[in-house]
């Protein structure tokens, strides 16, 4: 890492030296003398560069290169600006004309059949991956077990990778408490932490009882859904076979704790209201947030399931499913309680993951995206509404900015 940083600093100093040489006009006698002959010393040996040659070199190579870089940055900035305006216009259209998902997609409340009883309800698996979550394990497990759904059609799976024996006992106690109340809850553990969260989710899908489920819901350990979460989200998947994912919005319980959490709330609210809501309205791509979402099991299997090749396993799965033509629905009115990082160290780690993870994923999937047959019909142009979108024009290009540093 130190060598890498030194190389970046050397590159920055070199660019500044070239800029100084390029724009210097010789306003004084000392500057004219410096431009006449630039001398440098390397290991005691003196090497001279003729001023005429340096001028020709910068006029033929350096100046055009910097002009191209400036033009490239301006184009990217313009594309990002246009995309932002476009997304906000879509959100305004949704608000004015009340184009909520219930009007765009078919939605009917789940009802119990007189003869079949609960058989009309699909089997739902709720996964809760956790790692040494002593403070929130009772809240997360309790919230999942309180979901309003027939008990014989619901399985709660706690994926506990905890290494602290005390926390393991607390998880076992909590699971046993809800099992005694009739909840079908399973506590699964691994011998290692390979793949971290993605590895735990992938391992959890291998159990035989998972094959009985039609949909899978994922909640991180610090998320607590409302009891009616499944009643609002699952019908979108039941009545719309082309939908693979229903994503709920996050509601932050500690947003007013400090200035940093308040700023995070503002940023993430824009992400939900502008980027994800506009993407859902346009039937365009938006990424799975990693939690508070319901996946169609068939879509996950078709996309290849969970991969642990990057730190953004949620975006990885969403991109692969999206390239197959599956649609995603974002529910702005359906919220799930969560917490924001209130310490700078945790915030920095989260932002590093959210910035470098997509860059690494882009490098691994760039050829798959280019070769995909439905890329232009699904992402570059929205065939359902004939509305062009530049999401996959600007995002991969701007992602290249991070590729060299991640």
Q: Known catalytic residues?
A: 161, 314
Core vs surface per residue 99-135: b (16+ CB within 10 A) or e:
ebbeebbebeebeeeeeeeeeebbbbbbbbbbbebee
- Please name the residue ranges forming H helices in 220-343: 229-239, 259-270, 277-281, 297-303, 313-323
Q: Which residues contact 159 (CB under 8 A, 6 or more apart)?
A: 127, 128, 129, 130, 188, 200, 201, 203, 204
Task: State the DSSP code for 134.
Answer: T
- Pair of tokens at residue 264: 């995070």
Residue 317: other Cβ atoms inside 10 A: 25
Instruction: Specify whether the CB–CB gap between 177 and 146 falls below 8 A.
Output: no
Directed axis angle between helix 344-371 and helix 313-323, to 10°? Answer: 20
- Pair of tokens at residue 19: 């800029």
């Amino acid at each position: 890492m130190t060598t890498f940083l030194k190389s970046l600093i050397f590159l920055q100093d070199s660019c500044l030296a070239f800029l100084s040489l390029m724009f210097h006009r010789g306003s004084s006698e000392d500057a004219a003398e410096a431009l006449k002959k630039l001398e440098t010393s390397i290991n005691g040996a003196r090497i001279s560069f003729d001023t005429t040659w340096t001028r020709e070199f910068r006029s033929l190579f350096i100046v055009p290169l910097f002009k191209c870089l400036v033009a490239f940055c301006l184009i990217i900035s313009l594309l990002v600006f246009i995309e932002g305006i476009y997304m906000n216009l879509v959100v305004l259209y949704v608000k004015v004309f009340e184009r909520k998902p219930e009007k765009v997609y078919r939605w009917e409340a789940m009802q119990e059949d007189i003869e079949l009883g609960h058989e009309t309800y699909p089997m739902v698996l709720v996964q809760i991956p956790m790692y040494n979550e002593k403070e929130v394990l009772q809240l997360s497990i309790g919230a999942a077990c309180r979901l309003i759904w027939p008990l014989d059609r619901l399985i709660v799976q706690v994926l506990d990778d905890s290494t602290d024996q005390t926390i393991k006992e607390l998880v076992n106690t909590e699971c046993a408490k809800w099992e005694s109340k009739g909840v079908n809850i399973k506590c699964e553990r691994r011998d290692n932490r390979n793949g971290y969260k993605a590895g735990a989710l992938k391992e959890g899908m291998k159990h035989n009882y998972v094959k009985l489920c039609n949909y899978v819901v994922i909640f991180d350990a610090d998320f607590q859904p409302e009891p009616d979460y499944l009643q609002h989200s699952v019908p979108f998947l039941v009545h719309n076979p082309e939908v693979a994912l229903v994503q709920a919005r996050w509601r932050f319980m500690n947003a007013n704790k400090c200035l940093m959490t308040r700023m995070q709330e503002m940023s993430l609210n824009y992400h939900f209201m502008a980027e994800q809501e506009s993407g859902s309205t346009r039937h365009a791509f938006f990424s799975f947030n990693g939690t508070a979402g319901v996946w169609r099991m068939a879509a996950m299997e078709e996309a290849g399931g969970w991969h642990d090749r990057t730190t953004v396993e949620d975006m990885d799965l969403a991109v692969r499913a999206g390239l197959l033509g599956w649609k995603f629905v974002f529910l702005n009115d359906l919220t799930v309680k969560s917490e924001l990082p209130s310490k700078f160290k945790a915030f920095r780690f989260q932002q590093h993951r959210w910035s470098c993870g997509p860059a690494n994923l882009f490098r691994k999937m760039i050829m798959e995206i280019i070769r995909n047959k439905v890329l232009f019909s699904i992402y570059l142009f929205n065939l359902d509404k004939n509305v062009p979108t530049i999401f996959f024009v600007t995002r991969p290009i701007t992602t290249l900015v991070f590729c060299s540093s991640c």
